Structure 1
């Protein structure tokens, strides 16, 4: 699977950049559900550097920062949203992990549907892959709650499952071995970039799937109330190994 030519990436990136807004953690009463039917696939187009938060966009030549073994969900000193990857579970070429989005801003943060994913090389170059709405095209072992409204208050989190396969059958193309995953939570929201442990090895499949966002229950972290800035660091659940 080859990378996008610079000209094509720039043209596609301009279209996606129009969906993004600057800033983060803004109060928004919209429900983002249009075009989020399960099973659909969308081209995973690159997003331009001008449309990203400069603190989260991977700079060319920058070294990968170490990721915590579990998401911290710690809003201390942060505004907007905090995006963190959970551990990557690998089994017979199938990869699965949980992405955590924590609302660290004021007001409410609304989600409804599937995140759009983009696989990036270490230098920030986008691979030409497809982001699938739903996990079933890749595996039936990961449950998808389907699109539904999710409203987060300060300190509350939402999760989405991310799955892909490391299968290489097309020797005419280079395998996709990304180091970063760019996540667009919903249309009109700023994209965030994380570096999953072990990277994103799609082989020649050209596909990566995500379940719909769901609100993380307080029981998963042992909290009865949303986390306050500076609160303790709860432990995220590790996704079980999918059966298929």
Structure 2
């Protein structure tokens, strides 16, 4: 029986340890842990803060293919615009839960007032509306987000308001095709013009048939110079 030199034995031991560590770090295909959102009180639960990746499980699989860079944040830039600018934030996901923040920036003159929840409509690529329920609040979708509740929000030129939007990609009813929306139509308030946005990755409601939203809340002012101080009349006012 041949002997292994002490140097060779040490090298083989290092390889074995490396393989063991590599194997322990590998995940199986069963997905992440079955964590649940933290509780909320009675009523419609929706976020009092804009939804961010920090509010969800950082170890959960991300929505769709992982991009090389995260989608750009809303510009909130009124340059060359009047009326309102509606923009989607990045879509975050955790165990089938989708969450994003919708940003509304007032680019017109005077003040823009909100008080309550936006009304949502999920649209196909060709503009056809899906038969889904727009919920006032998020508690029916998740109890992990809180709702500030309806309250007056007044925006001056260049100021923004946010609303959280949540849904789940759950497909349990195989008798119907899953809802795979491409755009989201947002009615900020009764009597206001609706705007359409295209969230990154679309809106995959599966067979749930519902999408929840928070009440509007005023966003913190952007820091730094360079924000426009007056509207430029190049687009129609809302």
TM bin (shorter chain):
0.5 to 0.7
Question: Residue 160 of structure 1: SS of its match in structure 2?
Answer: strand
Structure 1 runs of 4+ with >3 Å offset: 223-227
The separation in 2 between residues aligned to 1:226 and 1:133, in whole angstroms, is 32
Number of matched pairs: 165
- The two structures have a TM-score, normalised by structure 2, of 0.66
1:190 aligned to which of 185, 190, 193: 193
Name stretches of at least 5 consecutive residues in structure 2 with no aligned partner. 1-42, 46-70, 232-238
Q: Residue 222 of structure 1: CA displacement?
A: 2.4
Counterparts of 2:227 and 2:153, CA distance in 1: 15
The corresponding residue for 1:214 is 217
**Which residue is 1:200 aligned to?**
203
Aligned-residue offset at 1:39: 3.8
2:100 to 97, 102, 110: 97
Tell me if structure 2 keeps the 8 A contact 1:156–1:226: no
Cα distance, 1:226 vs structure 2: 7.4
Distance 1:134 1:153, change over 3 A: same
Supply the distance in 2 between the matched residues of 1:181 and 1:107 (Cα, whole angstroms).
Answer: 27
Query: Are the equivalent residues in 1 in contact too, given 2:157–2:230 (CA < 8 A)?
Result: no
Q: CA deviation at 1:140?
A: 1.1
Q: 1:153 to 1:224 in 2, by over 3 A?
A: farther
1:1-244 to 2 correspondences below 5 Å: 39=44, 69-218=72-221, 221-222=222-223, 228=229
TM-score when normalising by structure 1: 0.64
CA separation in 1, counterparts of 2:226 and 2:166? 30
Query: 2 CA distance for matches of 1:228 and 1:134?
Result: 34
Q: CA deviation at 1:142?
A: 1.3
For 1:92 and 1:114, how far apart are their aligned partners in 2? Answer: 26
Unaligned runs of 5+ in 1: 1-37, 41-67, 231-244
1:228 to partner: Cα distance: 2.8
Q: Is the 8 A contact 1:153 1:226 kept in 2?
A: no
| Structure number with bigger Rg | 2
